[in-house]
Structure 1
Amino acid sequence: MREIVFDTETTGLSFAGGDRLVEIGCVELFNRCETGEIFHAYFHPERDMPEEAARVHGLRAEFLARHPVFTAGADDLMAFIADAPLIAHNAHFDFSFLNGELARCGRDLVCLSRMIDTQAIARQRHPGAKHSLDALCSRYGIDRSHRVQHGALLDAHLLAQVYVELMGGRQIGLTLVSDAPAATPLATASSIARAVRPPRRFAVLEGDKARHRAFLQTVVAPLWGEVAAG
């Protein structure tokens, strides 16, 4: 099962209010494992960068002016995410900016049915606890020491690890939580092509057999003797 974990950085909190997307980072998962395939891009927002936003992610107008506008990178982005489910933390925020940019350049929107919100899953899993990305990294022992500022690709990598833990860890099928949120079905063993190796035969040398028999004679009151006697 292919899934995409993604995060965005923006000029502010509201696309409808005039804010724009300036960075997106996507991490590919297959059967809840990172494949190493990513998509990462910065975009020129065609507007100023408020200081309060720059303090969060460190992206300033001078840096972003050297990068293309969203329209120029939309094809590559959409080719990468394809039709996979999209996972984000507080996903409605990220989807509002992604779909806002897509609408602005006349492209089809990403259907909200593809959205998986890790914040909503965390609230169900851990009611009453903190549900920020930092808090969840601490809960699951995920190293975030290199997260000095927000960054879309860095946060997507962290969120990918959090998502796997929220869905039961690597051994997803062993979770004992009856009210856990439904997980996307994984590929079954029969659906994955595997190369089958022919069986290998190992010959035991006669000398090894003799040494083994001699060793058994040295064992005092062996358990297998009691079984045989019984």
Structure 2
Amino acid sequence: MDLGIHGRVAVVAASTGGLGRAVAEALAAEGASVVVAGRRGDLAKEIAAELPDAVGVQVDLTDPDGPRVLVEATRAAYGDPDILVLNGPGPRPGTASGLDTGDLATAVDSLLLAQQRLVGLTLPAMRRRGWGRILAVGSSGIAEPLPGLVLSNAGRAALAAYLKTLAAEVAADGVTVNLLLPGRIATDRVAALDAGRAAREQRPVAEVEAASRAAIPAGRYGTPAEFGAAAAFLCGAPASYVTGTALRCDGGLVRSL
């Protein structure tokens, strides 16, 4: 399938590893000009050098000025972005009963405010051109809150509500707004969560991983490449009538529709 994004400009936030990197690689494989962004500038540039047409930008998107830095670097390299992939590192684990207000504020800043700033800087040009894609890397915790991850659950749910509202406002302008919700994808983040759970429960990591796989109807963790492929589709021309949607890429982990 031709996704119709050859030559489109794509900004992928937090793309020096994990799901962000997988999305950047998938978009680059479809011919998009990709901006790889992350706090580790050298790594961002290394990854960009491996892609057909990409640049790496060092940026901290939790800094209030970070989104502007990223968008200006994109415009200097390629012009206004056509595709914006919202992504950010997951907050530390924690319980609702032990929630700290300061930690919650930090999570909201990282998972909502930084993303909204990026949207505000890139959306006007998309609307003027009559074409744009905004895709957020979310979490299955939006559909079914995950135990022990209250900061992620709260911050990502707030982002989902914002983006769902936005989707209806810009649909007539040719701009789609969607979320892609990973389940258990084999990334460093998931490995760290498994290791943390194993330590808390005083069990071998292999036992924790086996229990997680057993809870997934597909019987395995997903691969970053599978997630990237789903993201590329949502960013493509064939998905022009898909908006305001949260698509799960979770092997059937969440049992509700």
By the TM > 0.5 criterion, same fold? no
TM-score (structure 1 length as normaliser): 0.30
Greater CA radius of gyration, 1 or 2? Answer: 1
Q: Relative to total residues, which structure has the larger helix share, 1 or 2?
A: 2
